[in-house]
């Protein structure tokens, strides 16, 4: 009998260990961008013989962070959004390519956390799925503190290399400060806290990790960060567009996540899919 090769890398323990009783999870709405759909879906807007003047759609995207109240570890933040005043922080042409859309002050990270009844100053740990500018901008809140910023070793090395050499402009050196408490981990799978497991899923970036959270009542959530930008990447296995980096790695990671989702019946939260994100309850609603 043929065995799914991705099963060999995954212990069934990942589906069994629950976050402790009383764990809460909030989905934070940290703003919106709009951009050419070709960044997220390969072939978007391609013209054809029968449609030689095809135009590419523009797509509105969500910027998403996740807050977890963990009974033994305290407040844990997954990704930090684009940061305050990111439109100016990025500058041209990035702020034209990925344009801010319908800004609301209550979409600032600290305000979103306040909606949950907590203060950003009470965060005890930050987990970064990857370090692109629209996820790492909010690290500004943690400069000069001892709060650990967990990220896969490969991602941290790649981000600094890319920013230093200019090989990938969506890493900004100003989002990668030395005065934060970087903590790296390695390997293919890492249970960072009880009920919270990070799975290395390269493809969009070499060190990207998705986060699996096993909740008692709501079941398993998988936060994919930008392994999937929009639901079509997941549902139709539609490869990423101009933001794809290593296609073969992405396909292998996709197989691993398909297996993981099937085994856990997880709810999927994609990196920027507003259509999907808006089907869930946002903060102040807590999933438990």
Residue 14 or 84 having the CB closest to Zn ion? 84
**Rounded least distance, CB 96 to Zn ion, Å:** 17
Hey, CA dihedral for 237, 238, 243, 249, is it positive or negative?
positive
Residue 108 or 226 having the CB closest to Zn ion? 226
**Rounded least distance, CB 169 to Zn ion, Å:** 14
Residue 69 or 134 having the CB closest to Zn ion? 134
Question: Residue 61 class from Cβ within 10 Å (0-12 exposed, 13-18 middle, 19+ buried)?
Answer: buried
C-alpha distances (whole Å) from 128 to each of 12, 99, 125 are 24, 23, 10
Q: Does 226 engage in binding with Zn ion (CB under 5 A)?
A: yes
**Rounded least distance, CB 272 to Zn ion, Å:** 6
**Rounded least distance, CB 98 to Zn ion, Å:** 9
Residue 30 or 286 having the CB closest to Zn ion? 30
Give the per-residue contact string, 14-53, with Zn ion (x = CB under 5 A; - = no).
Answer: ----------------------------------------
Distance of CA 269 to the CA centre of its chain: 9
Residue 227 or 286 having the CB closest to Zn ion? 227
Give the per-residue contact string, 102-141, with Zn ion (x = CB under 5 A; - = no).
Answer: --------------------------------x-------
Residues 6+ apart with CB under 8 A from 265: 219, 220
Of 116-124, 142-150, 204-212, 225-233, the segment contacting Zn ion by CB under 5 A is: 225-233
Q: Does 79 engage in binding with Zn ion (CB under 5 A)?
A: no
**Rounded least distance, CB 39 to Zn ion, Å:** 10
Of 144-152, 153-161, 182-190, 220-228, the segment contacting Zn ion by CB under 5 A is: 220-228
Strands 99-100 and 58-70: unpaired
Q: Does 69 engage in binding with Zn ion (CB under 5 A)?
A: no
**Rounded least distance, CB 274 to Zn ion, Å:** 13
Task: Extract the tokens encoding 238.
Answer: 């539609």
**Rounded least distance, CB 132 to Zn ion, Å:** 5
Q: How many residues bind Zn ion (CB under 5 A)?
A: 2
Residue 69 or 155 having the CB closest to Zn ion? 155
Rounded to whole angstroms, how far apart are CA atoms 72 and 133? Answer: 31
DSSP for 53-83, please give it: T--PPEEEEEEEEEEEEETTTEEEEE---S-
Residue 24 or 200 having the CB closest to Zn ion? 200
**Rounded least distance, CB 168 to Zn ion, Å:** 13
Of 60, 62, 59, the C-alpha closest to 30 is 62
> What is the contact surface with Zn ion in residues (CB under 5 A)?
134, 226
């Amino acid at each position: 009998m043929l065995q799914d090769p991705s099963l060999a890398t995954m212990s069934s323990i990942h589906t069994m260990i629950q976050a402790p009783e009383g764990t809460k999870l909030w989905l934070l709405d940290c703003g919106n961008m709009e951009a050419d759909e070709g960044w997220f879906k390969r072939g978007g807007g391609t013209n054809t013989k029968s449609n030689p003047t095809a135009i590419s759609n523009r797509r509105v995207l969500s910027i998403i962070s996740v807050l977890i109240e963990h009974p033994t570890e305290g407040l844990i933040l997954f990704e930090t959004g684009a940061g305050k005043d990111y439109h100016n922080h990025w500058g041209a042409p990035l702020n034209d390519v990925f344009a801010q859309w319908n800004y609301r002050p209550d979409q600032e990270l600290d305000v979103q956390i306040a909606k949950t009844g907590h203060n950003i100053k009470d965060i005890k740990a930050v987990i970064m799925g990857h370090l692109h500018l629209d996820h790492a901008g909010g690290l500004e809140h943690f400069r000069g503190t001892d709060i650990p910023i967990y990220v896969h070793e490969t991602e941290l090395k790649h981000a600094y290399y890319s920013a230093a050499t200019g090989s990938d402009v969506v890493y900004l050196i100003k989002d990668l400060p030395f005065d934060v408490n970087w903590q790296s981990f390695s390997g293919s799978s890492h249970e960072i806290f009880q009920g919270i497991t990070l799975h290395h899923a390269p493809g969009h970036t070499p060190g990207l990790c998705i986060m699996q959270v096993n909740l008692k009542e709501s079941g398993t959530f998988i936060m994919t960060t930008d392994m999937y930008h929009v639901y079509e990447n997941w549902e139709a296995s539609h490869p990423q567009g101009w933001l794809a980096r290593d296609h073969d790695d992405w396909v292998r990671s996709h197989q691993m996540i398909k297996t993981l989702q099937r085994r856990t019946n997880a709810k999927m939260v994609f990196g920027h899919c507003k259509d999907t994100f808006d089907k869930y309850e946002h903060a102040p609603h807590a999933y438990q």
